[in-house]
A = this chain, B = another copy of it.
Amino acid sequence: MAKKDAGSRVRDALRIDGELPDPGSIPVGPGKKAKALAKLGDAADRLSALQEALFAEGVGGGRRSVLLVLQGMDTSGKGGTVSHVLGLVNPMGVRYAAFKKPTAAEQRHHYLWRIRKQLPAPGQIGVFDRSHYEDILVPRVNGLLTAAERRRRYAELNAFEKELTEAGTTVVKVFLHISPEEQLKRLKARLVTPEKRWKYNPGDLEARGHWPAYQQAYADIFEKTSTAHAPWYAVPADHKWYRNWAVAELLVETLAELAPRFPEPGFDAGAELARLKGVGVPA
C-alpha cells in the first residue's frame, strides 16, 4: 500500500474541470456492464482491506478519516451507491448520514451545525447523502441568496472543508450526473412499481421543473468549491453499473494514497504471549 502505487487514473479522469461529461458516457474504465461488475468485485476486496487498515489505524490513535459527499438530482443514485459500494465494507467503519430539508430545530442553528454532528470519527469512512451543499443549492435556485451572500457561503464551505482536511479528513465530493431523460424513466419506474413507490416524492417534480437552474447552480458550485484540498468529481450516472464502479474506484484510489497502516503495537507481543499463559481462568 505504498503511496507511489496508489494511482490517480480514475480521479484524474473524473475530476471536474469545466464542462461535465455526458451522463451516459464512459470517460475511464470498463465500457460494458459485465466487465464493470467483475471489476467492482476486485475493487470490493481492495476497498475492504484498505478500510480495515484505516479503521485499525484509528483504533491505534490515528486521526485520519475519509468523507464521501454524494450530490445529484433526484433519482441520480445516491442511495444505490451507498447500498452497492459502501455495502462492500464492514459497517463498523462506515458512518452514513442523510440530509433532508432542515427541520425547524435545525434551522435555528448555523447550517453547518447539523453537518458537524455527523462527521466521521478517526478511522471511519463517512458518507453524506446530500450535504452542506444543499444549503447553497436550494436557497440559490429559490432566489433566496444575493450574489454577496452566495460568495460568503462559498468561502465558508471552502473554509469548512479546509478545516476538515487539516483535522485529518480527506474529502471526496462526487456529483452523480444523470440526464433528464434518465430521470424521467426512473421517476416513472417509482410510480408504476408498487414496492418502489415509497421512494417517490411529489416534490421531486418541482426540482425537475427547475432543471436548468439546478444545473447552473451546480456549475457555480463546482467552479467555486473545487479546491486542491477538496476536489469535485463528476460520475456519469445514467448507467448504474458504471456509477458503482466509478465511485468504488474513487474510494480505492483515495484510500490507497492515504496508505493507512496497521498501528505498531504499544506492547511487546512476546511478553504478552508469556503473560497470557499465566492468566488462567480460576475454576
Q: From residue A160, how far is it (CB to closest CB) to chain B in Å?
A: 22
Please determine whether B129 and A194 come into contact, CB atoms closer than 8 angstroms: no
CB pair B129 A198 closer than 8 Å:
no
Taking CB atoms, residues of chain B closer than 8 Å to A279 are 205, 208-209
A202 close to B272 (CB less than 8 A): yes
Known: A90-B87, A212-B282. A198 touches B59 (CB 8 A): yes
What B residues does A263 contact at CB under 8 A? 198
Q: Are B281 and A180 in contact (CB under 8 A)?
A: yes
Can you list 29 A-B pairs, Cβ within 8 angstroms, ordered by A?
A56-B198, A56-B199, A59-B199, A79-B92, A82-B90, A82-B91, A87-B87, A87-B90, A91-B94, A91-B96, A91-B127, A92-B98, A184-B276, A187-B276, A188-B273, A188-B276, A191-B269, A191-B273, A197-B262, A197-B269, A198-B263, A198-B265, A200-B265, A202-B267, A205-B276, A205-B279, A208-B279, A211-B281, A212-B281
Give the one of A56, A86, A187, A191 with max B CB within 10 A: A191
Bound complex: CA A205 to CA B267 (Å): 13
Is A30 engaged at the interface, CB distance under 8 Å to the other chain? no
Q: Which residue of the partner chain, among B59, B83, B262, contacts A92 with CB atoms under 8 Å?
A: B83
Determine which of B59, B205, B262, B283 lies in contact with A195 in the assembled complex, contact meaning CB atoms within 8 Å: B262
A249-273 contacts to B (CB < 8 Å):
262-263, 265, 267, 269, 272-273
* CB atoms of B265 and A211 under 8 A apart: no
In the assembled complex, which residues on chain B have CB atoms less than 8 Å from the CB atom of A152? none
